[in-house]
């Protein structure tokens, strides 16, 4: 049976414990470049990182911090979002696959809408496990085959062996939603945490927008052997999938979108301002 669902709501199918999004907006960010840099994990080191595919910020470098990117160029549909989004480069049978885009959804729920706050400039977040060898059972990383914004097969925790014709392979991520309120650096992920059934865990009192990203790769049919960059010239299995975020949203714009969409529990569309 073919499952057809909106990508924005795909998480709802995965877990009955995941609260339904009541407020939402999104941006679509085209592929910007691939480079062996990582402004979070390997700050300042050029050519020493695994190869990453970048989206959003067009001026991101190994030494970028949030304030550096404010007001600079972006591949995103909103000119007010020059944030940097990146993930390790994907290879199919040893050949790099250049992604098309990533679509990023920002969400609130009935539980968070009254308290959700904008990301602070310079906040760093990570999701996934660069040493992973098995599927994630917490639905922080998952896979699908999509046509446009519809998941034609999936979501599924195990990477598919093939995707139907006229679809794109997707890797999807859900970032943490709770912040400690003061730490911007995210190298160890200790600055943020995931919500539980009881809310944000102790020490992480600030509700952030729930951020879900979908990276689109222009491949289908037999997917062959999928690997991801782990170091210059080295690759490992697909379950090393992870993604990084460096926030450089224009603070005024983001605050307004959080107020009018997330706090107001309105389902806004793609921002193109």
Q: DSSP assignment of 11-62, as one string? A: HHHH-TTSPPEEEEEEEEEEEEEEES--TTTTTT-SS-SPPEEEEEBSS--T
Residue 4 has pLDDT above 50, yes or no: no
Band of pLDDT at residue 18, cut at 50, 70 and 90? low
Average pLDDT over residues 90-107: 98
Report percent pLDDT > 90 for the chain.
86
**Cβ atoms of residues 85 and 54 within 8 Å:** yes
Cα separation, 254 vs 179, in Å, equals 17
Band of pLDDT at residue 148, cut at 50, 70 and 90? confident
Q: What is the mean pLDDT of the chain?
A: 92
Average pLDDT over residues 107-123: 96
Average pLDDT over residues 106-122: 96
Which is more confident, 151 or 110?
110
**212-238: per-residue pLDDT in tens?**
999 999 999 999 999 999 999 999 999
Average pLDDT over residues 96-110: 97
Task: Say how many CA atoms lie within 13 Å of 118 toward its Cβ.
Answer: 19
Average pLDDT over residues 36-53: 94
Q: What is the pLDDT of residue 20?
A: 85
Cα separation, 96 vs 261, in Å, equals 37
pTM: 0.92
Residue 17 has pLDDT above 70, yes or no: no
**Cβ atoms of residues 139 and 174 within 8 Å:** yes
Residue 16 has pLDDT above 70, yes or no: no
Which is more confident, 17 or 226?
226
Band of pLDDT at residue 15, cut at 50, 70 and 90? very low
Residue 87 has pLDDT above 70, yes or no: yes
Average pLDDT over residues 152-178: 95
Residue 174 has pLDDT above 50, yes or no: yes
Residue 10 has pLDDT above 50, yes or no: no
Q: Which of 85, 168, 171 is nearest to 123 (CA)?
A: 85
Band of pLDDT at residue 1, cut at 50, 70 and 90? very low
**186-199: per-residue pLDDT in tens?**
887 789 999 999 99
């Amino acid at each position: 049976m073919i499952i057809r669902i909106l990508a924005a709501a795909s998480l709802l199918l995965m877990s009955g414990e995941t609260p339904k999004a009541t407020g939402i907006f999104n941006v679509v960010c085209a592929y910007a470049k691939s480079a062996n840099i990582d402004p979070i994990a390997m700050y300042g080191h050029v050519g020493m990182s695994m190869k990453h595919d970048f989206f959003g910020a067009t001026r991101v470098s190994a030494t970028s911090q949030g304030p550096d990117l404010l007001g600079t160029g972006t591949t995103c549909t909103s000119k007010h979002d020059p944030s940097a989004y990146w993930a390790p480069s994907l290879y199919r049978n040893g050949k790099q696959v250049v992604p098309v885009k990533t679509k990023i959804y920002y969400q609130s729920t009935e539980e968070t809408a009254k308290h959700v706050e904008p990301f602070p400039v310079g906040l760093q977040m990570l999701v996934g496990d660069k040493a992973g060898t098995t599927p994630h059972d917490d639905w922080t990383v998952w896979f699908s085959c999509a046509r446009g914004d519809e998941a034609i097969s999936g979501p599924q925790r195990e990477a598919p062996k093939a995707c139907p014709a006229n679809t794109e392979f997707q890797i999807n991520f859900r970032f943490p939603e709770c912040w400690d309120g003061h730490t911007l650096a995210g190298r160890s992920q200790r600055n943020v945490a995931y919500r539980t059934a009881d809310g944000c865990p102790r020490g992480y009192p600030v509700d952030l927008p729930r951020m879900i990203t979908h990276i689109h790769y222009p491949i289908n049919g037999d997917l062959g052997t999928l690997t991801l960059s782990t170091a210059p010239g080295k690759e490992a299995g697909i379950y090393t999938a992870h993604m990084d975020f460096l926030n450089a949203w224009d603070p005024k714009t983001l605050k307004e979108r959080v107020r009018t969409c997330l706090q107001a529990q309105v389902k806004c569309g793609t921002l193109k301002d």
